[in-house]
């Protein structure tokens, strides 16, 4: 089958699908971070072909993962009147069903938290999130964020190595910056309690088989995302329009984008609710500082592969993303003339 790199994802939102959706199971790439000699090559290969891979032996202590899951569940299990006190998510806080600011809807509840301790006061925020032990909540989130940031930087450095970039920390520096714009997101997908019904003509809001769309199809705007979920399936990626590849639930997976001048894939993905079980996931979105200039690394711009996009700041790109709908493609607005 054919993969769809960022470069070919330009254009307006896809027209309504004419053929039925196909679900196709395949084995997705796995990168073992403890096998240093092969990790860089495997990451580059995975990013080129899938924009998505599973990481094992990542070194994030299980206790950290478990305490984030526990704290998340304690929050989502609260009565909704309580949860609403932590909202709305503008940009941080609790949200239910509404995604972004342009009318996207999904069967999901979420907590959006700033992941930069210099810019976001987790302790303060935790007071509206946890009524029994706010300090425990903020400790768990802060420790998890710190651990994930290390994993992200390690992967970004392996990526630079695999791309034979002269500046091996060009990517990771943006995430280690004092003013990085990274975000932590907890998603809660309730089990399906009523028979699936199409809630609109928009295909992104329709039920799919026994499931509903929890998080509609989109690609992530940040540099890299690390996603971890409980053991409930629901995530799917799409390399080809109308064909969905299920991603079996398991520890940690992540995906990539634009600084690579079209070489890597920022894969489209979505989440369906599970008919019987709740799914909870935690996503760490590693983002540069707002003023950071995003441009293809010089090694990736050659006469054969001229620059596809004009340089832009993360602030410019982010505000474009937030002015569009979830499923829209955004990078085409930055294409070279
Ligand atoms: C997708 C990835 C992250 O979850 C997110 C999302 C953001 C939001 O939920 O507010 C966006 C979405 C995400 C992409 C397009 C815009 C922005 C909703 C939306 C319609 C936090 C992000 O950074 O981009």
- ipTM for the complex shown: 0.98
pTM of structure = 0.88
Each residue's pLDDT tens digit, 303-326: 998 888 899 999 999 999 999 999
Considering only 7-16, 44-53, 96-105, 117-126, which range has the smallest mean pLDDT? 7-16
Ligand 1 atom 2: residue of nearest CA: 220
Mean pLDDT score of the chain, rounded to an integer? 86
**What mean pLDDT do residues 46-68 have?**
92
Q: Distance between CA 95 and CA 188 in Å, rounded?
A: 10
**What mean pLDDT do residues 292-298 have?**
89
Specify the ligand 1 atom closest to the Cα of 95: 9
Ligand 1 atom 10: residue of nearest CA: 100
Q: Which residue has the higher pLDDT, 269 or 11?
A: 269
Of these residues, 185, 228, 279, 330, which one is catalytic?
Answer: 279
Encoded tokens for 146: 């710190």
Give the binding-site residues of ligand 1, using a 6 Å CB cut-off. Answer: 99-100, 102, 104, 183, 185, 218, 220-221, 285, 321-322, 325-326
The 8-class DSSP code of residue 183 comes to: E
Nearest to 215 by CA among 331, 104, 91: 104
Does residue 2 carry a pLDDT above 70? no
Active site residue 204: no
CA distances from 12 to 84, 229, 310, 329 (A): 35, 31, 19, 7
Q: Distance between CA 191 and CA 273 in Å, rounded?
A: 6
Ligand 1 pocket test: pick from 218, 229, 270 the residue with the most ligand atoms within 8 Å of its Cβ: 218
Each residue's pLDDT tens digit, 134-143: 999 999 999 9
| Residue whose entry in the numeric block shows the structure tokens 């495997």 | 42
Ligand 1 pocket test: pick from 321, 323, 324, 328 the residue with the most ligand atoms within 8 Å of its Cβ: 321
Q: What's the length of the chain?
A: 337
Specify the ligand 1 atom closest to the Cα of 112: 21
**What mean pLDDT do residues 5-28 have?**
60
Considering only 178-192, 247-261, 264-278, 279-293, which range has the smallest mean pLDDT? 247-261
Nearest to 215 by CA among 273, 266, 285, 267: 273
Q: Distance between CA 84 and CA 130 in Å, rounded?
A: 12
Q: How far is the CA of 311 from the centre of ligand 1 (A)?
A: 21
């Amino acid at each position: 089958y054919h993969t769809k790199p960022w470069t070919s994802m330009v254009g307006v939102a896809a027209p309504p699908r004419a053929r039925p959706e196909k679900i196709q199971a395949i084995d997705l790439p796995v990168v073992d971070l403890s096998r240093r000699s092969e990790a860089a090559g495997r990451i580059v290969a995975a990013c080129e072909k899938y924009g998505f891979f599973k990481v094992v032996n990542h070194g994030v202590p299980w206790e950290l993962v478990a305490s984030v899951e526990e704290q998340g569940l304690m929050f989502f299990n609260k009565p909704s009147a309580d949860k609403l006190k932590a909202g709305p998510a503008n940009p941080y806080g609790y949200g239910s069903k509404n995604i972004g600011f342009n009318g996207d809807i999904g069967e999901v509840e979420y907590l959006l938290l700033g992941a930069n301790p210099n810019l976001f006061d987790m302790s303060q925020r935790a007071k509206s999130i946890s009524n029994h032990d706010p300090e425990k909540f903020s400790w768990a989130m802060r420790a998890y964020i710190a651990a994930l940031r290390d994993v992200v930087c390690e992967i970004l450095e392996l990526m630079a190595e695999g791309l034979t970039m002269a500046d091996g920390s060009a990517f990771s520096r943006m995430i280690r910056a004092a003013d990085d714009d990274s975000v932590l997101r907890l998603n809660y997908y309730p089990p399906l309690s009523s028979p699936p019904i199409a809630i609109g003509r928009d295909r992104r809001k329709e039920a799919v088989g026994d499931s509903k769309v929890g998080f509609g199809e989109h690609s992530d705007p940040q540099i890299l995302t690390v996603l971890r979920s409980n053991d409930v399936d629901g995530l799917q990626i799409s390399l080809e329009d109308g064909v969905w590849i299920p991603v079996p639930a398991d520890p940690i997976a992540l995906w990539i984008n634009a600084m690579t001048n079209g070489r890597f894939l920022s894969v489209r993905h979505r989440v369906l609710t599970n008919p019987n079980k709740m799914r909870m996931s935690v996503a760490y979105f590693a983002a540069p500082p707002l003023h950071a200039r995003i441009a293809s690394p010089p090694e990736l711009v050659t006469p054969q592969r001229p620059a596809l996009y004009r340089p832009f700041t993360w602030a410019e790109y982010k505000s474009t993303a937030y002015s569009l709908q979830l499923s829209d493609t955004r990078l085409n607005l930055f294409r070279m003339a």
